[in-house]
Amino acid sequence: MSLTADVKAELIAVRDPLPNARIAELTSLLRFAGGLHSIANRVAVEAEVDSEALARRVARELMEIYGVRPEIVQTQGSGSRAGALFAVRVIDGGETLARQTGLLDQRRRPVRGLPNKLTTGSRGDLAAVWRGAFLGAGALTDPGRSASLDVLCPSSEAAMALVGAAHRLGIGAKAREVRGAPRVVVREGDAIRTALAVMGARQVAAHWDEMRQRREVRAGVNRLVNFDDANLRRSAQAAVAACARVERALEILGDDIPDHLREAGDLRLAHRDASLDELG
């Protein structure tokens, strides 16, 4: 599996016992993985996820917390989300659910960011917000120069809300627009490890950090090897230049060259690849 799939598999198994955290995670997932639709003039709440296990978990949480019975529909993704997708859809009672989760305000207007009660909640609630967002639209890449943990966001307001939650959790995150779509990106290695651990993916956090450390060690060794190679090349070039100068001097001075200089020149020409230290 990919690192992203590994993270989601671990997060699916996380079950916070606190009701507020469960609501925060579910609301965040609904916000980042789908949203509101109008079906037959009724408000429908839908989340589109990339695994059947996650779809069943979302459906179970909806039933246990809000008492609704969602349907799960398998669809075919396209573009960056190629492969099977699973839509968890609530039509009957959809508008009531949207109000309860804060996806609709009191005037029946869609909330573009995240409900205020989530972003001002406890540390556990904020971690649940991030867990839901990553389950809905997150991705993790391998350690390296372009390493990142990022979440595709439905709006710039949602991105800023997620950044605010990250900062309250001590995670350095930034909102960026990539190919016209708002994203929240975590790039620094320690921040990625912290984000994974805070969300509850501690095993992947440890594995990712181990991969990062091994990569840094290999990069350090490669830098030393390249440095030594560069020094050898410079030494060889200097030796060639020195031999050329010696040959030219012997040619110009001929028999007039002092004996000690002739001995030094002959020694240089006899050992063209030797360093000055080796020649003595």
pLDDT of residue 144: 80
pLDDT of residue 77: 66
pLDDT of residue 223: 60
The neighbouring-strand residues paired with 178 are 181
Whether residues 142 and 259 fall in one domain: no
Residue 140: name the closest of 274, 18, 7 by CA: 7
Q: How many CB atoms lie within 10 A of CB 231?
A: 10
240 part of a folded domain: yes
pTM for this structure? 0.75
Task: Express each pLDDT in 218-244 by its tens digit.
Answer: 655 556 555 555 566 676 677 777 777
pLDDT of residue 157: 95
- Give the total number of structural domains in the chain: 2
Whether residues 117 and 235 fall in one domain: no
Whether residues 87 and 183 fall in one domain: yes
For residue 247, what are the contacts with CB-CB under 8 A and spacing of at least 6? Answer: 269
pLDDT of residue 275: 60
pLDDT of residue 219: 57
Please list the pLDDT of the chain residue by residue as tens digits (280 residues).
689 999 999 999 999 999 999 999 999 999 999 888 887 788 889 999 999 999 999 999 999 999 999 999 998 766 566 678 999 999 998 999 999 998 888 888 888 899 888 888 999 999 999 999 999 999 999 888 788 999 999 999 999 999 999 999 999 999 999 888 999 999 998 999 999 999 999 999 999 888 888 877 765 555 655 555 556 667 667 777 777 776 776 677 676 677 666 777 677 677 776 666 566 5
Whether residues 179 and 239 fall in one domain: no
Task: Express each pLDDT in 72-128 by its tens digit.
Answer: 999 876 656 667 899 999 999 899 999 999 888 888 888 889 988 888 899 999 999
- The single residue listed with the structure tokens 């230290």 is 277
| Integer angstrom CA distances of residue 236 from 103, 223, 259 | 70, 20, 27
Helix (H) or strand (E) holding 174: strand 174-178
Structural domain span for residue 8: 3-200
Look at residues 200, 227, 260 and tell me which one is the last residue of a structural domain: 200
24 part of a folded domain: yes
The CATH number of whichever domain residue 162 belongs to comes to 3.10.28.10
Whether residues 150 and 242 fall in one domain: no
pLDDT of residue 78: 64
pLDDT of residue 221: 58
